[in-house]
Amino acid sequence: MIEVKNIDKSFDGNHVLKNVSAVFDNGKTNMIIGASGSGKTVLMKSVIGLHRIDNGRIEYDGRNLPDMRMSDVRLLRREVGMLFQGSALFDSLSVLENVIYPLEMFAKTTKEEMVERARFCLQHVDLKEKSYNLAPSEISGGMQKRVAIARAIALQPKYLFCDEPNSGLDPQTSLIIDQLIHEITREFDITTIINSHDMNSVMEIGENIIFINKGEKAWQGSKEDIFHVDNEDLNNFVFASELYKKVKKANS
């Protein structure tokens, strides 16, 4: 479980996160939603430690990240996997080498075991053997996301972060990626945090949803609750499209 307590973050006097507190449950797909510029990416990067927060606590199962020394932060990060918006695969390595990379850095196993583990992860995300030796630039965006997921789970992380996992993907591939993240979360009992403004994802896999508005946590609940909330900002954001207005009407 990850618990965020009263965190603030400013950039050059611009107060981006204002006293945000939230709990990200273990074994669930936790979603941070909000409009562009609301501060959700800053929140995620702060939780991972890529941004140093001004105030507050970020507890990974009781371990407060801002108090840790850099060496301890590195140890903690070995328990973290991350799927970046643009996949962030290493250009100079093949698909298989990208997945082997974290194992080579930190796993104390033989080369054969590393290759076996990497193949297991790639098979788990439904990537065909013929693509293993291709460069990231030679595969599609959807396949790149799968490789990035395989790399993120290679070291069997306790915490998985996904920054806009569906950006740039068609609706069908988006759905597959969402389901893959959801399955992995359940199967390996991971604390997953997804940053998204894709309402299809929210309705599909969102179990614990946190709505960020103008740098503040405006709402937290489940996807079932979202239809019955009396929060104007949330309703304007979630039910912006005609389709979701109809869905809400049908639900209420």
Partner 1 sequence: MNILQDTGSYALLMKRVLVAPDRWRMFFRQFPKELEKLGLQSLPIVIIISVFIGAIMTIQTKLNTENPLLPTYSTGLVTRDTLLLEFSSTILCLILAGKIGSNIASEIGTMRITEQIDALEIMGVNSANYLILPKIAAFIFMMPFLVIFSMAVGLGGGYLVGVFTDIITTADYLLGIQYAFIPYYVFYSLVKSVVFAFLISSVAAYYGYYAYGGALDVGKASTNAVVNSSILILFFNLLITNLMLNQ
- Site residues (CB under 8 A) for partner 1? 48, 50, 73-78, 80-82, 84-86, 88-91, 101-102, 104-106, 155, 161
CB of 64 to partner 1, least distance (A): 18
CB of 102 to partner 1, least distance (A): 5
Nearer Cβ to partner 1, position 56 or 102? 102
Nearer Cβ to partner 1, position 114 or 176? 114
Nearer Cβ to partner 1, position 101 or 188? 101
Nearer Cβ to partner 1, position 68 or 175? 68
CB of 107 to partner 1, least distance (A): 11
CB of 105 to partner 1, least distance (A): 6
Nearer Cβ to partner 1, position 161 or 244? 161
CB of 162 to partner 1, least distance (A): 12
Q: DSSP letters of the chain? A: -EEEEEEEEEETTEEEEEEEEEEE-TTSEEEEE--TTSSHHHHHHHHHTSS--SEEEEEETTEEGGGS-HHHHHHHHTTEEEE-TT----TTS-HHHHHHHHHHHH--S-HHHHHHHHHHHHHHTT--GGGTTS-GGGS-HHHHHHHHHHHHHTT--SEEEEESTTTT--HHHHHHHHHHHHHHHHHHT-EEEEEE--HHHHHHH-SEEEEEETTEEEEEE-TTGGGG---HHHHHHHT-SHHHHHHHHHH-
